[in-house]
Structures are given as C-alpha cells and as structure tokens.
Amino acid sequence: MEYKDKNVPEVVIKRLPRYYRYLGECLDQGIMRISSGKLSEKMSVTASQIRQDFNYFGGFGQQGYGYNVEYLHNEIAQILGLKNGYKAIIIGAGHLGMALANHASFEKRGFAITALFDIDEKKVGTKINGKPVFHIKDIERFIKKNNISIAILSLPKSEVIELADKLAEYGIKGLLNFSSAEIKTAKHVAVENVHMSDSLMTLSYKIKLEEDKENL
C-alpha cells in the first residue's frame, strides 16, 4: 500500500472507524462491491468527500464500478493499525471497567484485552470475562513483560493525571481516557478522550430540532 502521512485531518481519521464498521457489515451480508454513491448514502457523507478522504491514503482504486469491499475493508484495517496486534489493559475495575472488559467489539476489532488492574483487594485475583484482575502495584512489570501498547483508563479523574506519566515511562503508547481529566503526556504517547456526554448533547440537539419543527 502506498500510504504516506500527509497530515490527515482529524475529521478524516475519525471517519475511518465508521467506514471500517460499515464495510464489515457489508461483508457480513455478502456484499462484495459498493459504489461511492451507496457508501455516501449510508455514511451521510457526500460521495466527493469520500473520494477526498480515500485520496489521503492512495484512493483505493475506485473505477466507475465501485469499490471492492473486502479490499477496502482490509486497507482501512491496515491504516488503522488493526492488524498490528496491539495489546491493551484496563485500569480501574469498577462498573465502567467491568463493562469495558465485557465489551465484545474491542476484541472484534483486533485488540486483545489482556488484564485489568485495580487497588481493591476484593477484586484482585478474580477474573472478569476471563481476564485476570491484578493489583495496580504490579502494573509496570506486566506492561513491560507483555509488551502492552494501550491503557484504557476507567478510573476517577483525580487518579488519572498522576498515572498517565508513569504509564508513558513504562512503555504505554496510547491512552483511551474515559475520565474527564485532561491528560498531558510525553509527545510520543497518543491520547483519545471518550466524552460520553457529548453524544447525549448531540442527541439533545436533534430532539430540540424536531420539537422546534413540530412547534412551527
């Protein structure tokens, strides 16, 4: 694949998982070829935007008769690093951590969730969805020994900030942050913040829009 980093805009990067998911659904349904028009309709993105997006990565050879779904799905997986076998741990085995450990789609996308970490002695030594819960004091050794790339942070805001720097030292390359803490880490460590209330606000906007229409 001819793929160079052309400073792909964040908004394009954010669309890649959606393309990937949708193409996966097509494959599940046995759809082997898709036009940019059809893809556009499904994704609520214009066909020209789709072509622009794909051009950042070489274009994927659409030739009038549409994209090869399996090829495109594979290429996007590659671009997203889903074939790199990144291993992850979950830090914080509270309700959210447990929900995440049970969340099938993480492993479906190629990420191995290898263990959870907590300070609660009642949880340490148990398993959640087959994954062991270890004490946080053992985290450095575990990360280094098992070559863990990703830490999923499902612990309180106050604990996240101090931890983030240590995780970078131990070799973690990316943090998926579910807390509202604003994390500043070493430059080579990637951070993705999950703001669950953003989705609720977007939903609220849509409800309000519909109500405004009804009141016209």
For residues 58-76, b (16+ Cβ closer than 10 Å) or e, as one string? eebebeeebbbbeebbbbb
Contacting its own copies (CB under 8 A), which of 17, 37, 61, 171? 17
Residue 146 interacts with its own copies (CB under 8 A): yes or no: no
Taking residues 47 to 76 in sequence order and writing x for each that binds its own copies by CB under 8 A, - otherwise, the string is ------------------------------
The rounded distance, in Å, linking the Cα atoms of 11 and 7 is 11
| N residues, the chain | 216
Residue 31 interacts with its own copies (CB under 8 A): yes or no: no
Smaller CB separation from its own copies, 63 or 206: 206
Residue 94 interacts with its own copies (CB under 8 A): yes or no: yes
Rounded least distance, CB 23 to its own copies, Å: 13
Rounded least distance, CB 5 to its own copies, Å: 6
Q: Which residues pair with 133 in a beta bridge?
A: 116
Rounded least distance, CB 211 to its own copies, Å: 7
Amino acid in the structure at residue 157: K
Smaller CB separation from its own copies, 11 or 65: 11
Rounded least distance, CB 178 to its own copies, Å: 9
What are the Cα distances from residue 53, in Å, to 6, 73, 99, 156, 202? 12, 14, 33, 36, 24
Three-state DSSP class for residue 5 = coil
Rounded least distance, CB 64 to its own copies, Å: 28
Cβ within 8 Å of residue 8, ≥6 positions away: 56, 57
Residue 176 interacts with its own copies (CB under 8 A): yes or no: yes
Smaller CB separation from its own copies, 20 or 54: 20
